[in-house]
Structure 1
Amino acid sequence: MTATLIYCYDPMCSWCWGFRPTWTKLQKALQGLVDSDQLAIQPMLGGLAIDSDAPMADDMKGKLEATWKNIHSTLGTEFNFDFWQTASPRRSTYPACRACYVARDMGLEEEMYHAIQEAYYLKAKNPSDIDTLTECAEHIGLNPAGFQKNMQHVKNERLLEEEIEQARHIGLNSFPSLALIIGDKLTSIPLDYKDHTSMLNAIKKALS
Structure 2
Amino acid sequence: MPVLKPKLYYVYDPMCSWCWGYKPVWNQIKQAVTDDVEIIYVLGGLAPDTDEPMPEMMQAQIASHWKKIENFLGSKFNYEFWTDNTPRRATYPACRAIVAARAQDAEQAMLDAIQVAYYTQAKNPSDNSVLVALAKNIGLDIPQFETDLLALKTHQALLTEIRFARSIGGSSFPSLFVVREGKQVEIPVDYKDAEVTIELIRSVI
TM-score range (shorter-chain normalised) is over 0.9
Matched, 1:26 2:24: no
**1:120 alignment partner, one of 118, 121, 126:** 118
Distance 1:132 1:8, change over 3 A: same
Distance 1:137 1:187, change over 3 A: same
Structure 2 length-normalised TM: 0.95
CA distance in 2, matches of 1:146, 1:4: 30
Structure 1 length-normalised TM: 0.94
Q: Which amino acid aligns with 1:168?
A: R
> C-alpha displacement at 1:152, in angstroms?
1.5
Structure 1: tracts of 5 or more residues without a match:
34-38
CA distance in 2, matches of 1:9, 1:105: 18
Query: Does structure 2 conserve the Cα–Cα contact (< 8 Å) formed by 1:98 and 1:154?
Result: no
CA distance in 2, matches of 1:145, 1:85: 31
**2:20 alignment partner, one of 4, 17, 20:** 17
Distance 1:91 1:206, change over 3 A: same
1:61: which partner in 2? 59
Q: Which amino acid aligns with 2:93?
A: P
Distance 1:64 1:17, change over 3 A: same
Distance 1:56 1:153, change over 3 A: same
Matched positions, count: 202
CA offsets, 1:134-183, max 9 Å, x none? 01111111122221100112556511001101111111100001000012
**1:137 alignment partner, one of 135, 138, 150:** 135
CA offsets, 1:85-110, max 9 Å, x none? 11110000000001111111211101
Distance 1:180 1:156, change over 3 A: closer
